Structure 1
Amino acid sequence: MGVIKKTFYTGVLTGASFLAYLGATTTIISPLPRDDALPRSATFAKYNVHRNPSTQDICVKRIPLNKIRPDLLENEGDLVLEFCRGVWSGLGNRFQRAYLARKYQGPTTSGQLWTVEQLSRSTYTPGTQLIDHFEVVERTPTEIVVRCGDSPRNRSPRDSDGLFVISAEVDEARAEVVLGLKSCFFTSARKIEGIQGPMPGWMELCHRWYTRLWMASGSWRVTRNSVF
């Protein structure tokens, strides 16, 4: 009984320490700053056709340049691509990937990305679909924009819709890399009155911690000591 109790408390302390690490190394901003480009973009207007209110936030992590893999700083676009690969193939996405695979992986979704190998090597060009829940809709040298909320097989407006922006930029002035995971969830199927986004408070809180976990596993991929 003493061993079981000790193991339990060790697990609790380890979990608490990890949550503390996630909280200390990432910053959550919600709602998005007024000057953020996403809500004013053509991509946002395309999918949020009714300009409905949204649940929005961004998770930010800063990493000193000297801790970033040097090969990712040589060519434009390599840094955000590798970060994107880490987000989808990393530990943070393993549970959701396994859950969706049990439900939806099959002949009708065979053209999508499902395995860790596929997710860790894809170039994430627009049109790439993954785990029957995400589709790349735009890519720039610093951002990869993904539509989420429902199966990419559903091309129509949706009750659950949204955009997820994976970003990586170099802040030369501070000698840092700035990684970002930006979320904007909305209903696109019909006009929604009021200013409240679609996600209830408890779900929004869970989403923010989940995003922090994705940030951690994605950022490990771009650092010098990464193993992949």
Structure 2
Amino acid sequence: MGIIRKTFYTTVLTGASVFGYLGSTTTLISPLPQDDPFWRSRSFARYNVHHNACTQDICVKRIPLDKIRPELLQKEGDLVLEFCRGVWGGLGYKPQRAYLARKYQGPATASQLWTSEQLSKSTYERGTQITDHFEVVEKTPTDIVVRCGDTPRNPNPRDSDGLFVISAEVDKQRNEAVLALKSCFFNSGRKVEGIQGPTPGWMEEAHRWYTRLWMATGAWRVTR
């Protein structure tokens, strides 16, 4: 019993430390500000055609520029691309990637990104499909926008739909890199009345901690 008790308390303390670290090193904002550029974006207008209510949040992490790999600050677009590679190819996404691979990897999805090496080297051009659950729908020097919610093999409106925006910008006034993961989930298949987004409360809370984990492991990729 002593070993079991010790293992239990170690697990609890480790979990508490991880949650404490994620909570203290990231900022979570929900809902998105009304003046956020996302609401005027081409992708949001294209996919949320019924203007349904959304489950929405943004996770932000600020990093001093002297801690960012210097080669990523030389050319516009390199920082967000490397951050994107870190999100998908990093440890935070590994469990979900393995689960999706067991269910969906095969001849029909052979052109998609599945391995850590593929995810860590892709340039994430528009149309890139990731583990049969995500597809790049827009790419700019600061943002890579990914559609989610269903297999990208289904291009139609969906009851479960959403957009995930991976961002990286330089705040010259504060001499910091600003990394952000923005999420917006909605029903694109039909008009839904009301102001409540489609995600249950418990799932929304779990998603926010998961996003923080993606942020932490993705940020490792861009730091020295």
Task: Show the 5 A alignment for 1:118-137.
Answer: 118-137=118-137
Match for residue 96 of structure 2? 96
Residue in structure 2 matched with residue 9 of structure 1 by the alignment: 9
Task: Measure the CA separation in 2 of the matches of 1:56 and 1:10.
Answer: 34
Residue type of the alignment partner of 1:5: R
What does residue range 133-144 of structure 1 map to in structure 2 within 5 Å?
133-144=133-144
Question: What's the TM-score, normalizing by structure 1?
Answer: 0.97
Q: How far did residue 144 of structure 1 move?
A: 0.2
**Gaps (5+ residues) in structure 2?**
none
User: Structure 1 stretches of 5 or more lacking a match?
Assistant: none
Between the aligned partners of 2:53 and 2:11, the Cα distance in structure 1 is 40
Equivalents in 1 of 2:64, 2:72: separation in Å? 14
How many angstroms does 1:3 deviate by? 2.9
Per the alignment, residue 171 of structure 2 pairs with: 171
Aligned to 2:149: 149
Letter in 2 for 1:64: P
Q: Secondary structure, in 3 states, of the residue corresponding to 1:165?
A: strand
User: For the residues of structure 2 that align with 1:2 and 1:202, how far apart are their CA atoms?
Assistant: 33
Counterpart of 2:79?
Answer: 79
1:63-115 superposed Cα distances (whole Å, 9 cap, x missing partner): 11111111111111000000000000111101110111111000000000000
For residues 181-220 of structure 1, what are the structure 2 equivalents within 5 Å? 181-220=181-220
Query: Are 1:38 and 2:62 counterparts?
Result: no
* RMSD of Structure 2 on Structure 1 (CA): 0.8
Letter in 1 for 2:103: K
Q: How many residues align?
A: 224
Flag as ranges the 4+ runs of structure 1 deviating above 4 A.
Answer: none
Distance in 2, Cα, partners of 1:110 & 1:206:
30
CA drift at 1:2: 2.2
Distance 1:75 1:42 in 2: 25
